[in-house]
A and B are shown apart, each in its own frame.
Chain A
Amino acid sequence: MFGFFKNKYDNPALLEEIRQTEEKWFVFLDKLETRLDELCSAAVPELIALFNEDSDPYKRAHSRMLTGLMGQISQMQQKAIEAKEEHIIPFMHASSAVLPDLISSAGRKYHDRLYRFQMACFDRHHQFEDKVNEGIAALRSTEGNADLEAVYQRQLTEFERIKDKFSCKQCGGKLILQKMFFIATYIQCPFCQTQNTYTPSTEMQMLFHQARSLAEQRTKHLLLIYEQSRPKNPALYQQYLRSMFDEWNKITPDMLEENERFYQRLLKDHSINHY
């Protein structure tokens, strides 16, 4: 039976086509990678400049430029995937179909060549995807961190400056703010008992919404310790979370009760997902 296949299968044209297709694929991905690298290298300093120059506290212009670049990278990724689906994969199937059986000695050499072609193309594609991820990471790294500690300090200083500057609008008596309020609050005049309405500054109100981010910044190192633990140690996560919430409560102490409930919920969620 095996004698029948001792006639060697000879298809140099196919070998050449495999070689050319592989080369074309590599050249194509090389070009895409070069363009990707050009784009990201040039974009990074522009993004950093834009972030620093933007007076918008939410840095929305930077965000728009960033998402636009991500869109272009995504387009390049899509291009590679479509080329693979249109040119590489069908070619593999078609070539495979004309070959004799794998188990025959005649077929073995060609199947091997095709297998190496497949591996080389897929590996090269993975390499490209890795470069894409590197590029994305480089672009993301331009998302500076607003110096929240400095923002907080400014508000603390400002609070000290204004806390005894207010007078009751009814009787003119001195009103002293007992603590930093972050939302509109009724304050009672100690002299005439009238309820005044205190409205904190826009910046103070904004700080309230940045409190959690600041707390996370302060406790980032603990989160890192948890994330680096192998296997992941839930006790370390709890340690991080507790610490983060303690910092959060220092900044907005009026929210302590509410924060405690949120803390419990997050802990529960985490333990459910962990196990």
Chain B
Amino acid sequence: MSENPLLAPIHGITLEDYSAACAKMGSGLSEDQIAKALGVEMPVWQEANLLWQERMKEDATYQIVTLFGQHFGTADQHPKFSNLQAVVSPEATGYIEKIKTDKDFYQELEVARQVAYDYGLDGASWIADQYGISIGDFQIAASLWNEQIHRDIAADSQKYMRTQDAYKEKYRQKFATAQGGNVADDIEF
């Protein structure tokens, strides 16, 4: 069985290591902390960071980026990062735990995040402000729920669409009210 050369470690940093590192950086760890956790110095980490991205750009099969996404989701369990947590409030810890264990909560927040942009807010910042959830944690949750959500859509796409639409409507109203209504509210057929 031949191994895909594109999956070989770069400076001893495996794809799994790299994916977890990216997730952890998104969750608030610094590059210094990442390099230390991986047992390397900054120049080595930065080369590996660059070169893993190049591998993904080179790979027309999408195998690497797919694996990257999967490993991203299991970052919390990666042994090299088990002792490192970003500093968060107890409340935020609860919400971070919730998006990774409660699918409905995750999906609702994912829609809220998107709708925020339609109302002039940065969605990621809004989620961070309201719930203390970082981009990295959100992406980890996305990776964890990815397969299940695809199964849900395949099983009953109408139901999925209805749920999504309901969330969209809820947050459109919420953000519209906060901004004093929509610009064309007074125009009716």
- Specify whether A and B are partners: yes
CA distance A69 to B41 in the complex (A): 45
Given contacts A184-B43, A197-B41, contact A68 B119 (CB under 8 A): yes
Minimal beta-carbon separation of B38 from chain A (angstroms): 14
Q: Which chain A residue shows the least CB distance to B51? A: A258
The answer to whether A35 and B122 touch across the interface, beta carbons within 8 angstroms, is: no
Given contacts A197-B43, A262-B54, contact A32 B118 (CB under 8 A): no
In-complex Cβ contact of B42 among A64, A87, A197, A269 (8 A):
A197
The answer to whether A70 and B118 touch across the interface, beta carbons within 8 angstroms, is: yes
Given contacts A184-B46, A262-B57, contact A65 B120 (CB under 8 A): yes
CA distance A60 to B38 in the complex (A): 32
CA distance A28 to B186 in the complex (A): 11
In-complex Cβ contact of A68 among B51, B120, B187 (8 A):
B120
Summed over the interface, the residue pairs from A and B with CB atoms below 8 Å come to a total of: 78
The answer to whether A68 and B189 touch across the interface, beta carbons within 8 angstroms, is: no
Task: Kindly state whether residue A199 has any CB partner on chain B within 8 Å.
Answer: yes
Task: Kindly state whether residue A14 has any CB partner on chain B within 8 Å.
Answer: no
Given contacts A72-B182, A79-B187, contact A67 B118 (CB under 8 A): yes
CA distance A76 to B189 in the complex (A): 12
How does the 8 Å CB contact mask read for A88-132 relative to B, with 1 for contact and 0 for none? Answer: 000000000000000000000000000000000000000000000
CA distance A71 to B172 in the complex (A): 10
How does the 8 Å CB contact mask read for B117-138 relative to A, with 1 for contact and 0 for none? Answer: 1111110000000000000000
CA distance A31 to B183 in the complex (A): 12
Return chain A residues, CB-CB under 8 Å to B54: 255, 258, 261-262
How does the 8 Å CB contact mask read for B54-65 relative to A, with 1 for contact and 0 for none? Answer: 100111100000
Q: Which chain B residue shows the least CB distance to A268? A: B60
Known: A64-B122, A262-B58, A269-B60. 4 other contacts (CB 8 A): A83-B189, A184-B43, A258-B58, A265-B59
Q: Which 4 A-B pairs have the closest CB atoms?
A: A68-B120, A71-B118, A183-B46, A83-B189
7 contacts between A and B (CB under 8 A): A68-B117, A68-B118, A68-B120, A71-B117, A75-B184, A265-B57, A265-B59
